[in-house]
């Protein structure tokens, strides 16, 4: 299974764009569908109705269960432990730190299991490892250390980069009922993108303003070229 990660700051429209693409193609699947299709063989998720797959509480539950049942030993991966140690050594603000660490592990488990899968589907992540690393800058992590953390984590088969004006991201955060204290400067993700490019990661630029068909075609064309 190929893994494609949308990369962009909170408020760039990653989730909205991903949902449009999911509706356009059965071949491009979401995190929730991945759990349903790929992990149902473990008899853990067969009972879960699709409507509940977006629940953050379900994802918390799945995180722990995937670690226990499908990701045995992943929590002891030396690279992951080093990445977490780098984060903990530098952070100066602790609001939502634990939840972000939990999500980092969840994303790591998902990424690893997907790349081990022999499915022909494409897993499109609106929030993957690169996004997660960037969010730790809200806890005081420097751009330089964020790049070091990202360098310890596995790369996706393809990255789709999305950028929108600063004011747009702020407005979207506020419209979602969130504070613009969650605003992250564009330089953070540009730095992470540069670090990935040094590892020969492949990128395609998408626009949240384009229709879903156009973005889907760009993704599929780029994926075929990998």
Q: Cβ(74)–Cβ(36) under 8 Å?
A: no
β-sheet bridge partners, residue 124: 4
| Cα–Cα distance measured from residue 207 to residue 163, given in angstroms and rounded to the nearest whole number | 7
| Cα–Cα distance measured from residue 207 to residue 218, given in angstroms and rounded to the nearest whole number | 10
More confident residue, 116 or 181: 116
pLDDT at 201 > cutoff 60: yes
* pLDDT classification of 43: cutoffs 50, 70, 90: very low
Q: Cβ(153)–Cβ(136) under 8 Å?
A: no
Paired sense of beta strands 28-29 and 122-125, if any: parallel
Reported as a single tens digit per residue, the pLDDT across 53-73 is 555 555 555 555 555 545 556
Q: Rounded to the nearest 5 degrees, what angle is found at the Cα of 10, between the Cα atoms of 13 and 83?
A: 130
| pLDDT of 198 | 95
* pLDDT classification of 146: cutoffs 50, 70, 90: very high
Name the architecture of domain 2-224: 3-Layer(aba) Sandwich (3.40)
């Amino acid at each position: 299974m190929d893994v494609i990660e949308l990369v962009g700051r909170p408020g760039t429209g990653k989730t909205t764009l991903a949902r449009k693409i999911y509706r356009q193609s059965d071949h491009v699947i979401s995190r929730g569908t991945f759990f349903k299709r790929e992990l149902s063989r473990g008899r853990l998720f067969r009972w879960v109705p699709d409507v509940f797959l977006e629940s953050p509480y379900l994802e918390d539950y799945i995180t722990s269960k995937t670690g226990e049942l499908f990701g045995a030993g992943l929590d002891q991966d030396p690279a992951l432990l080093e990445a977490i140690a780098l984060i903990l050594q530098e952070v100066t603000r602790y609001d939502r730190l634990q939840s972000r660490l939990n999500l980092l592990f969840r994303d790591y488990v998902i990424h690893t299991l997907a790349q081990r899968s022999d499915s022909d589907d494409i897993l499109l992540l609106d929030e993957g490892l690169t996004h997660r690393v960037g969010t730790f800058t809200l806890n005081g992590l420097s751009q330089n250390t964020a790049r070091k953390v990202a360098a310890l984590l596995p790369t996706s088969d393809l990255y789709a980069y999305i950028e929108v004006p600063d004011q747009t991201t702020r407005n979207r955060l506020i419209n979602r009922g969130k504070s613009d204290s969650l605003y992250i400067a564009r330089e953070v993700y540009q730095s992470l993108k540069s670090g990935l490019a040094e590892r020969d990661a492949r990128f395609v630029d998408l626009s949240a303003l384009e229709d879903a068909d156009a973005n889907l075609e760009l993704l599929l064309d780029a994926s075929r070229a990998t």
